[in-house]
Amino acid sequence: MRSILNYILLLTGLTVVLAACEKVDDLPQYAKGELPVLTSSVNAVAPVPADSLKTAVTFSWTDPQYATDKALQKYIVEIDTAGNGFKTPATKTVFGELSVSFTSKEINQILQKYRYKFGVAQNMEVRVKSSYANNNEQYISNVLAINMTPYKVPPKVPIPVSGQLFIVGNATRGAWANPVTLPSQQLSMISETYYEGVFFLNGGLQYLLLPVNGSWDNKYSVADNTISGLSGGGSFGLNLKDNFPAPATSGWYKIGVNFQDGVFTLTPYLAIQDITSFYVPGDYQGWDPANASRLASKNNDGKYQGYVYFPSGGSYEFKITSAPDWGHTNYGDDGAGKLNAGGGGNLKVPGEGFYLISADATALTWSVKKDKWGVIGSATPGGWDNDTDMIFDPVSRLWSVTLNLVAGEMKFRSDDSWSFNFGDGTDTSDPDKRLDQDGKNIPIPAAGNYTILLDLNVAGNYAYILIKN
């Protein structure tokens, strides 16, 4: 009986195995799609404000022949500046349609994003990307060249009639002194309704924007500077009651002012790195270590360097402290370039000027060098043979020069000598605006008139700013 049961179970198992091995039909295969071909209803778009809600242009494309429900097919129309390679395109997405229209208002908003001048035709490029809804099997169409002209819309905030804009306040190096120093406290006009500038801002303080340098009659400000997050951008207006709030952390920031939409933006440009520091209190600033210029030890090896500006007048005397107070080690003069770690006499520079101060806390030595700075390189008028001198501003404590550059490279050089020079600290393909001794050459990608600013005020955090005028 047992053998019969085993035989029945064996037959049953074989039946299951044979059933499982039964051949099924091949899975269906779908043909791949094909590149869509893009066409436009017009070759140029130059609307007027009265037609803002009317269709300005319609883009159409051929069916990419995807093997799926057409309602699930995705199309992204991209519009960008000609020659930009669609790196920063404006986009519009549709599903299941083979065309899309843009109103005059939409085209105008796209052009305003790029800060183009009103009434001036711009060369733009358009393409469409097709794919499944999940972005698989993506195809890119041909590129169409289209002329587009932005039109003027009354801005939300009155634009500066002067065509200029300046920053003032205790958040800036110039504090509330008005008129402000130029060019370090002037924003650049990118378009009639958009200004931009890069500035060092003292954390937690305030500033205003002025349309006329030297006048308090009108000022751009905010309605309520206690609004959370306003230090990073928000709404502004003309002659509102509050100053702009600076971010809590000191550093270099890029400020963008959009009068068309009535908003400003503030984004980090270069953060300050925390580096072991000494302090240089002296007669030039009231012997206050907490607010004195600093020397930095980038390698944390006991060797410190930094720049200090000594204005005319006073004794030109100073000391070096290991902390922002007098309760820790303070270094004085021990004669013959030596430091006295227990105090000693006051250190001294010969007179007014911008000085590089070096101190070695191990060898107990110090030195000073009065500096002047210039730019040199294939992009500059003097090539790699002759420096173009920069001008020092004692208020902002920045070095600056405005000159014509060609595409090429440049560096900053002290006293027309290669013994002390600054380049960008990173690879030249990705400059970060942070300077290092003997750093890499700084690329200048395009010819033009530039204002160059050199900031050597924050020890170990030296920076440069290139402004194309």
Give pLDDT, residue 358: 96
Give the integer Cα–Cα distance in Å for 141 and 33.
Answer: 12
Q: pLDDT (tens digit, 0 to 9) for every residue of the chain, 469 residues total?
A: 444 444 444 444 544 444 444 554 554 444 577 899 999 999 999 988 888 899 999 999 999 988 878 888 899 999 999 999 999 999 999 999 999 999 999 999 899 888 888 889 999 999 999 998 888 888 999 999 999 999 888 899 999 999 999 999 999 999 999 999 999 999 999 989 999 999 999 999 999 999 999 999 999 999 999 999 999 999 999 999 999 999 999 999 999 999 999 999 999 998 888 899 999 999 999 999 999 999 999 899 999 999 999 999 999 999 999 999 999 999 999 999 999 998 789 999 999 999 999 999 999 999 999 999 999 999 999 999 999 999 999 989 999 999 999 999 999 999 999 999 999 876 555 566 889 889 999 999 999 999 999 999 999 899 999 988 8
Give pLDDT, residue 199: 94
Identify the residue whose tokens are 């299951």: 16
Give pLDDT, residue 128: 96
Helices (H) and strands (E) in the chain, counts: 2, 39
Six-digit token string for 95: 């599903």
Classify domain 277-370 at the CATH class level. Answer: mainly beta
Q: Is 15 helix (H, G, I), strand (E, B) or coil?
A: helix
Six-digit token string for 123: 């060369």
Give pLDDT, residue 85: 93
- Whether a cis peptide bond, with omega within 30° of 0, leads into 183 is yes
Residue type, 69: D
Give pLDDT, residue 112: 85
Query: Is domain 165-270 in CATH 2.60.40, yes or no?
Result: yes
Residue type, 243: N
Identify the residue whose tokens are 């560096």: 411
The CATH label, of 2.30.29.30, 2.60.40.10, 3.30.300.180, 2.40.420.20, for the domain at 38-148 is 2.60.40.10
Give the integer Cα–Cα distance in Å for 463 and 102.
Answer: 43
